[in-house]
Amino acid sequence: MEYKKYQNFIALRLDKGDDIAESINKVATIERVKTAKVSGIGATDKFTVGVFDMSKKEYEKFEFCGNHEINALDGNITEKDGKPYIHLHITATGSGGKVVGGHLIKGVISLTGEIIITVIGGDITRKFDENLGINRWKF
């Protein structure tokens, strides 16, 4: 993993074996990012996504292995309990052109990842909403 900061942008290159969310969290911690937009592309051969089940208030998980192109990595960085909170969604294309995606629970880079973090001035925090079962934005 390497990154470079340009005014309110951070260009982050992920390498084979790098965990996507952990790497973004590390950069956000080092650079003290409180609120940001995250987007990226790349390749992964092992990732887990979730689709939130509102009745159970938990994610139904789906794991994918094998070569996949990351068509879109999209999300944000906010804060919860004074630490970066990384919220990402991923869409990826695998063998035969099958497209899959969802809330990124875990993802490992297989070739490279090109991530742009756009830092936003201001603070957005998160607070757990018991009725919904998720950590919602709090202004």
Torsion angle defined by CA atoms of residues 82, 10, 69 and 87, in that order, rounded to the nearest 10 degrees: 20
Strands 83-93 and 36-53: unpaired
Distances (CA, A) of 47 to 63, 87, 99, 137: 6, 15, 13, 26
State the average pLDDT over residues 111-122: 96
Separation of alpha carbons 83 and 80, rounded Å: 5
Which residue in 93, 10, 9, 16 sits closest to 1, CA to CA? 16
pLDDT attached to residue 80: 97
pLDDT attached to residue 71: 98
pLDDT attached to residue 77: 98
pTM of the model: 0.96
pLDDT attached to residue 51: 98
pLDDT attached to residue 15: 98
Q: Is the dihedral of CA 64, 65, 71, 76 positive or negative?
A: positive
Q: Is the dihedral of CA 25, 31, 32, 36 positive or negative?
A: negative
Render pLDDT for 73-100 as a digit per residue (tens, 0 to 9): 999 999 999 999 999 999 999 999 999 9
Tell me the domains of the chain and their CATH numbers. Answer: 2-138 (3.30.1330.80)
Render pLDDT for 16-66 as a digit per residue (tens, 0 to 9): 999 999 999 999 999 999 999 999 999 999 999 999 999 999 999 999 999
pLDDT attached to residue 121: 87
How many CB atoms within 10 Å of residue 32? 8
Residue 107 binned pLDDT confidence (cut-offs 50, 70, 90): very high
Separation of alpha carbons 18 and 50, rounded Å: 20
Burial label, 130 (beta-carbon count in 10 A; 0-12, 13-18, 19+)? exposed
